[in-house]
Amino acid sequence: MSNAGQSSETDPAILDMADRVRSGDRATLARAITLIESKRADHRATAHQLIQHLLPHTGQAWRIGITGVPGVGKSTTIDTLGSNLTAAGHKVAVLAVDPSSTRTGGSILGDKTRMARLAADQNAFIRPSPSSGTLGGVAAKTRETMLLCEAAGFDVILVETVGIGQSETAVSDMVDFFLALMLPGAGDELQGIKKGVIEIADMIAVNKADGKGIDRARAAAAEYRAALHILTPQSPTWAPPVITVSGMANEGLDELWDHIKSHRKKLSNTGELEELRRQQQVKWMWAMIEDRMHAALRNRKSVRERVAELEDGVRQGRIAASMAADEIAAALGLADG
């Protein structure tokens, strides 16, 4: 890897920023995250030095991914769970991976208005996903943001996905525990859940188990338990539980957290948690490589112009897709031979 932008001694300004991040200065943390999200080459080089300097002070937090279809109550559940955790003495950071932001350029539905209590909590920090880029790039920047938050003293990191596309897999590849929130009601709702989400979930929680929804939530939980019986668990030491919760009424969330603690204890004892994080580091590397390649396509004018021509040729049927791909690879210095 090139050492461009790096020197044998870390810039004093970077050391100062790192110290301020470690002291918990929220304004500096926000600036550091903005630096990481920047596409400028000089900013990226500075961000790399900052992350490298802070790396020894990361890795101790609880990394938890939460997914669920729109309307399942993710925001309310995260707001309530996070508030429970800060009341118990934890510092909670909520990060978002939103692949739809790559199309709209917007943040993920105004996180701070959706999580009113956490937004006003001095022991919580909410950050939306970057406003543009490939899903791999967004995920890579979320990983780096997670490291900054850990260095800043946040000991619980909740990573939210909007529950569409490939975002679930991207989030599961950066967390220790992956929670799938489901809607109450079995039958048709169950049929609409992708098998892949259930396969990567470490726990399923059927939300909105309050009032008239309790019976429907319990019935749905029974259906999910039956579905899990036919799947092979990811870990030989952990069978994903299925519970009912109510984020609105703050019911079942203590049990939810107890399961997360039990999962961490079991996987730590077997060494699986450490191995999981090692594998995630490699996946992170490849996600960043992919992002660099996309950046090269976007930023090199000659390549960008030729890509547009090739794209049009493929669309019109004048150029074979394989030939166009070979030419683009050659332009990036990736040709075979």
Residues of the chain with confidence (pLDDT) below 50: 1-8, 102-109, 191-192, 337
As a whole number of angstroms, the distance between CA 113 and CA 295 comes to 32
pLDDT reported for residue 270? 95
What are the beta bridge partners of residue 182? 206
Contact 163, 186 (CB under 8 A): no
As a whole number of angstroms, the distance between CA 82 and CA 93 comes to 9
Taking domain 59-269, whether its CATH number is 3.40.50.300 is answered by yes
Contact 163, 68 (CB under 8 A): yes
Q: Render pLDDT for 255-283 as a digit per residue (tens, 0 to 9).
A: 999 999 999 999 999 999 999 999 998 98
Q: Render pLDDT for 144-169 as a digit per residue (tens, 0 to 9).
A: 999 999 999 999 999 998 766 677 88
Residue ranges per structural domain of the chain: 1-57, 59-269, 283-331
pLDDT reported for residue 108? 44
Picking from 282, 308, 335, 256, the residue whose alpha carbon sits closest to that of residue 143 is 282
Question: Taking the domain 1-57, which CATH number applies?
Answer: 1.20.5.170
What are the beta bridge partners of residue 179? 66, 203
Prediction pTM value? 0.85
Type of residue at 124: A
Q: Where would I find the H helices in 95-213? A: 101-104, 111-114, 116-119, 135-151, 167-172, 188-191, 195-200
Contact 132, 99 (CB under 8 A): no
pLDDT reported for residue 285? 86
DSSP per-residue letters across 151-173? HTT--EEEEEE-S-TTHHHHHHT
